[in-house]
Every structure is written in structure tokens, then in C-alpha cells.
Chain A
Amino acid sequence: AQRVTQPEKLLSVFKGAPVELKCNYSYSGSPELFWYVQYSRQRLQLLLRHISRESIKGFTADLNKGETSFHLKKPFAQEEDSAMYYCALSTSPTGNQFYFGTGTSLTVIP
């Protein structure tokens, strides 16, 4: 069963516009949610974790347990934000039960 759903494979926004990448998860316990980013020709890297409640590169994500969502948001998109974004769910502290979504390719149009 798909534990993490990213409904948009492709998303394009204009520079300076707000951006929201959607993520929904399926898990009955207490999840740990993450966003990973992969810039062109670079390796996959952690962007942010919900437990940190921090803003990285202007991105924030709020865990909504009622809606089982963890959408990634940024008020003003920049060209350098163009990348592949993966939402991920961990159901174990060691991280071996770690599930990625299928990813959303974000393009920021100058």
C-alpha cells in the first residue's frame, strides 16, 4: 500500500509566486515526516523534518494529522528552487522503515 502520496508529478510556478507541494501519508501511528530535495545532477538531500519545525531556504511544512498531510510551502519561489522534491515517512526510529513518495518536479519559471 502506498504510504506516501504526492499527487503532482510536475509543478510549474513563476518566480516570486507562492508554491505548495502536496504530500499525504497513510499511517495509523505517530509518523515522522520529511521533505527531501534533489537538484539537477546532485544527490538526494534532506530539506527539512517536521519535528524540527524549522524553515529551510524559505520552505516550511506543517504536519496536519487530521488531514494526514505534510505539504511543503514557500511564499515566494526562486529559480534555484527548481528541483525534484520527495516527501518521506518514517515509521521506525532507526529509519529502516522509511518510505518515499514518487516525487514532484518543481520548475520555477523566470
Chain B
Amino acid sequence: GAGVSQSPRYKVAKRGQDVALRCDPISGHVSLFWYQQALGQGPEFLTYFQNEAQLDKSGLPSDRFFAERPEGSVSTLKIQRTQQEDSAVYLCASSLAGGVGTTEAFFGQGTRLTVV
């Protein structure tokens, strides 16, 4: 694809519902990052994959959050038993090899999750 694609763009979930957010990185990109951006805040790191290996999940706020990238391409961020504090924009970024701060890293447009 032309860029990093995230779906759905918007998601409204009832409190307690499970949700799954999808990220399609740029083809061939090795590194994939998930960020959470609450209203009025900057993006905050959640987790990082290199191919299918999840190398860092230190930013996941609780064990209700789970991310996977089984074939080293598409990634899914799953949130179980959603709470109101999970309402945020979830951003995905991918890069050819380097980190987020490299010129070859690109962000998706995000999924706005609203928990009611």
C-alpha cells in the first residue's frame, strides 16, 4: 500500500467490550510501533515489534492490552474489557529498519477509540 493503514478509523465500544485494532504497515517494513494518544496529550509508546518478535511491551498500560504480529506484517492491538480511560487515538508506525525517529518511519492515521 501507499502508506500505513489502520482500521477501523473510529470505534465506539461499550465499557467491558473487547476491541481489536488493525495496522497494515508499509510492505517490507521490519519495525512496527503502537502508540496511544489521549486527548490533549502527545503520543505515548505502547509496544514495538521487529518482524514478528515483540521486543518491547513496556508501554502497555495493563494486562488487558495485547498486541501481536504473527507473520511479521499486519499487527493487531487488542484491548479486553475496555474501560473509559482507554478512550484515545491509537497510532501505528512502521519503519524499514530503524526506529520511529528515522526518516523512513511513517505513521498511520490512527484509530479513535471511544469507550462509553
Chain A residues in contact with chain B, CB under 8 A?
A: 4, 9, 32, 34, 42-46, 49, 86, 88, 90, 92-103
**A34 cross-chain contacts in B, Cβ below 8 A:** 101
List 12 interface pairs A-B (beta carbons < 8 Å), by A numbering.
A9-B40, A44-B91, A45-B107, A88-B42, A90-B100, A93-B99, A94-B99, A95-B95, A95-B105, A96-B99, A98-B45, A101-B42
Across the interface, do A102 and B42 meet the contact criterion of CB distance under 8 Å? Answer: yes
Count residues of B near A (Cβ-Cβ below 8 Å): 29
Chain B residues in contact with chain A, CB under 8 A?
A: 3-4, 31, 33, 35, 40-45, 48, 50, 55-56, 91, 95, 98-103, 105-110
Question: Residue A32 contacts which of B42, B43, B101 (CB distance < 8 angstroms)?
Answer: B101
**A96 cross-chain contacts in B, Cβ below 8 A:** 33, 45, 48, 55-56, 99-100
Known: A88-B101, A90-B99, A94-B99. A43 touches B107 (CB 8 A): yes
Closest 7 CB pairs of A and B: A95-B99, A100-B42, A96-B48, A95-B100, A44-B107, A90-B101, A96-B56
Question: Residue B42 contacts which of A43, A46, A93, A103 (CB distance < 8 angstroms)?
Answer: A103
Cα(A103)–Cα(B103), bound, Å: 20
